[in-house]
Amino acid sequence: MSYCVNSTCRNPENSAYSQRCHSCGSQLVLRDRYRVIKPLAQGGFGTTFLAQDEALPGQPSCVIKQLRSSEVTPMLVQMARSLFETEAVTLGKIGNHPQIPRLLDYFEEHEQFYLVQEYIHGMTLQQEVKQNGVFGEVGVKQFLSEILPLLQYIHECKMIHCDIKPANIVRRAQDGKLVLIDFGAVKNQVSQLANQPEQRALTAYAIGTPGFAPVEQMVLRPVFASDIYAVGVTCIYLLTGKFPKDLDYNPRTGEMLWKQLVQTSDQLSVVLRKMLEVSVHNRYQSVEQVLKALDLEFYVDTFTQDTPVESFTVSKEQMSAYSQESRILCGNSCTDLFKQSVAQMATAIQAKSIKMVDTSCIKLTSNEPIFTAAIVDE
């Protein structure tokens, strides 16, 4: 099958060898080589497709992320493009790690932007829990022993992922290893957008997911420990099958109430509690500290090697169940222009419910991505 990438196409499904869409006439092979097979997911700024690279022998699968840019205001196009470029630059820089998808291509065609990356065949941890049920303590420790060294590598590259969650971690079917995806929200500590003169109006923005992103990230101050918090929330999901929005919070401290729902050893409970500290000061400051506390520091490799992992496969339904993410837009001090643009984008990009909220009243009620933006009044 071929799939038409024109977002307004009425009948995007085409036969395997067609060159042009039978419905709207769009080219079905991008850049003369990438044939799109089917959509994998729809996000706030674009769509993710499964494709085949017809220029290579064997026509290997790849993932194509399409940035929708035509229907929104120039300012929002610029913001969306920056997020997209962040992902391309990040993958280009650190995508040679075996647990990060490789960046294969990045191009513009018919005023649309495309990012091509290695396809990781497997289930996300969210799909895995839905299919196989929750993890026990051993499973969670194994998860930590794999994800923490990867996070350590990302932090050593001076980057904060900012959107770690079960839907952004794929277990590769081939070898059972975890692969971290979705680098669009990455905060690059070295060259922050705020330092670029053309970005003066848009001082900072970050993407995260409410409930997975800690408080400091929601107010646009992500730090390395923000990723540690997100890994902690991911562990709670793995242990309970519940998203943060379905858990209770201590109204006085803002702490997530999870202890009574799980049966974990004192050691793991203490570590999780410290990963999930609301205050950055009380949380682990580095991945190394977490590894040390878990006694995983010196035998991470043996731990992952010794524990056999089944090979997982993914069904069509599971892949396509991943669509429809709604984003919440929020700003620190929004100008009217920005509010207007946001409203336009809300209708244009998604035609779905997007809420405009102030960061002071964010409710952690959704497991969907959040888009936060800060504008300075000049």
Ligand X SMILES: Nc1ncnc2c1ncn2[C@@H]1O[C@H](COP(=O)(O)OP(=O)(O)O)[C@@H](O)[C@H]1O
Catalytic residues: 163
Q: Indicate the residue among 62 and 290 with the shorter CB distance to ligand X.
A: 62
CB of 173 to ligand X, least distance (A): 10
Q: How many other β-carbons are positioned within 10 Å of the β-carbon of residue 259?
A: 13
CB of 342 to ligand X, least distance (A): 18
Q: How many other β-carbons are positioned within 10 Å of the β-carbon of residue 312?
A: 18
Q: Indicate the residue among 71 and 255 with the shorter CB distance to Zn ion.
A: 71
Q: Does residue 4 bind Zn ion (CB under 5 A)? A: yes
How many angstroms separate the CA atoms of 65 and 254, rounded?
36
CB of 122 to ligand X, least distance (A): 7
| Residue from the set 87, 118, 128, 182 that interacts with Mg ion by CB under 5 A | 182
Q: What does residue 205 show for φ and ψ, rounded to 5 degrees?
A: -155, 160
| Residue from the set 7, 18, 26, 318 that interacts with Zn ion by CB under 5 A | 26
Stretch near Mg ion under the rule CB under 5 A, chosen from 12-20, 21-29, 143-151, 160-168: 160-168
Sign of the dihedral defined by the CA atoms of residues 261, 207, 125, 149, in that order: negative
Radius of gyration of the chain (CA): 21
Residue 170 contact, options Mg ion, Zn ion, ligand X, none, Cβ 5-8 Å cut-off depending on partner type? ligand X
Biggest CA-to-CA distance, the chain: 62
| Residue from the set 1, 16, 24, 56 that interacts with Zn ion by CB under 5 A | 24
CB 188 within 8 A of CB 359: no
CB of 168 to Mg ion, least distance (A): 5
Q: Does residue 168 bind Mg ion (CB under 5 A)? A: yes
Residue ranges that bind ligand X, judged by CB under 6 A: 40-41, 43, 48, 63, 101, 117-120, 124, 167-168, 170, 181-182, 184, 322
CB 359 within 8 A of CB 195: no
User: Strand pairing partners for 206?
Assistant: 372
Q: Indicate the residue among 96 and 282 with the shorter CB distance to ligand X.
A: 96
How many angstroms separate the CA atoms of 206 and 224, rounded?
14
Residue number of the CB atom closest to ligand X: 43
Q: Of the candidates 149, 52, 138, 27, which has an alpha carbon nearest to the alpha carbon of residue 100?
A: 149
Which residues are near Zn ion by CB under 5 A?
4, 6, 9, 21, 23-24, 26
